[in-house]
Amino acid sequence: MKIKVGVIFGGETVEHEVSIISAIQAMNKMDEEKYEIVPIYITKDREWYTGDMLKDIDSYQDLNLIKKYSDNVVLYYKNGSYVLQKKTGLMKRIVKEIDIAFPIVHGTNVEDGGLQGYLQSIGIPFVGPDVYAAVAGQDKTIMKDIWNSIGLPMTKYVWFYDVDYRKDTDEVMKKVKKLKFPVIIKPATTGSSVGISICDDEEGLKEGIDTAVQYDSKILVEEVVANLKEVNIAVLGNHEHQKVSEIEEVLSTNKFLTYADKYIGDGKGGKLKGFKKPVKSATSKGMASANRKLPADLDKGLREEIEDIAVKAFKALGTSGNSRIDFLIDEKAKKVYINEINSIPGSLAYYLWDAKGINFSSVLDDMINIGIKDYKKRISKVHSFETNILQGFAARGGVKGMKGTKGKLR
């Protein structure tokens, strides 16, 4: 019997379209002999849809057609199964059942623990990080504070809230100016380089912060690495077992890898491994369209250092599935700095595994198997008690009987 895999993607996030690309790449590479693939698309207005047309990238050129020809559904637990039930119509019939959810989502409201919290609360097995790891993996300030606590090498950084910046701009600027220019300014919880800027002086700093606060309430400012080489590596596993991919060097004519570098590319299109048919533009290739050197040109010492740090970083956040971890190297000083983790990376970083001789379908198999193991471990722990302390509560006076007992109910 096939495992019914509900692939969840989209959502109210600035990385909505990137998520669609990543999910369709993955669905086209899942082994249909093992899995029944059920696409679950979340629109930007947070409505959930399912239907076979959602597996085709061309369907997303007119979202009105999706709403017309797909089923508007809700996912919930019913009679021992996890079901997708229609929200409209007299019968509100069950459209599909799924055995495991596979979130392929990027950015706020979906990758940041919000979606994982819903899945965990209804009890369905799911692939990827749990709530805690998803939060830490999305919020760069939490992520860096955790890594800092175990001594991983990072550039100097500060962070602050937008409300504090507006309330006392001079105080926040004083805090930031303790860093050495140039600095890079980032919204703390966005991805895909959205809202990021580099500034060389105080004037540029204010402009960069004004840009970042449009996307987030928490802002991170970091020192820029000199003589920069950017490299990425993927880690697959959970807190018990991990393996590492090949390392890539990312190439850009900009000061940092921009959204356009990652997803727009040269626009030439063509056949791509993540799709069954030729794609119409480099945008449809996701992260696979970025310019890169794979494998990266690194000596053995740097390569081993990056692999070691990547595994430590992955375990420290308690993440699961397939994460991409980004590094910054000062080529002149031969110094490595960990930059950030992408808990559910664009294109699921399949190209990093492909370069090591592990194909995309195998990576997806591993991710699903890890999700099942995580679920079994999660349900083996005690999360509730069979006793009910409220039995007889009414007989003892109920809420009325609590008058004058403030602080005593423990």
Structure tokens at 6: 């509900």
Structure tokens at 115: 């979606």
Residues 172 and 243 in one domain: no
CATH of the domain at 181: 3.30.1490.20
Residue 275: pLDDT band with limits 50, 70, 90: very low
Residues 192 and 307 in one domain: no
Residues 115 and 184 in one domain: no
CA dihedral 298, 299, 305, 308 (to 10 degrees): 80
Residues 219 and 230 in one domain: no
Q: How far is CA 307 from CA 32, 138, 152, 244, 248, in A?
A: 33, 21, 13, 7, 12
- H or E element at residue 189: none
Pick from 341, 356, 337: nearest CA to 248: 356
Regarding beta strands 3-10 and 35-42, do their DSSP bridges make them parallel or antiparallel, or are they unpaired? Answer: parallel
CA diameter of the chain: 76
Residues 360 and 247 in one domain: yes
Structure tokens at 176: 């930031």
Ranges of H-type helices in 70-128: 114-122
CA distance linking residue 150 with residue 145, whole number of Å: 9
CA distance linking residue 366 with residue 321, whole number of Å: 8
Place of tokens 């996912």: 75
State which residues form the domain around 334: 137-153+226-251+291-373
CATH of the domain at 91: 3.40.50.20
Residues 28 and 95 in one domain: yes
CA distance linking residue 169 with residue 357, whole number of Å: 52
Q: What is the mean pLDDT of the chain?
A: 88
Give the percent of the chain with pLDDT over 90: 75
CA distance linking residue 118 with residue 112, whole number of Å: 12
Residues 83 and 171 in one domain: no
Q: Is 154 helix (H, G, I), strand (E, B) or coil?
A: coil
**pLDDT exceeds cutoff 70 at 260:** no
Per the structure, how many domains does the chain have? 3
Residues 210 and 108 in one domain: no
Q: Residue 258's pLDDT is what?
A: 52
Q: pLDDT digits over 332-388, tens only?
A: 999 999 999 999 999 999 999 999 999 999 999 999 999 999 999 999 988 877 777
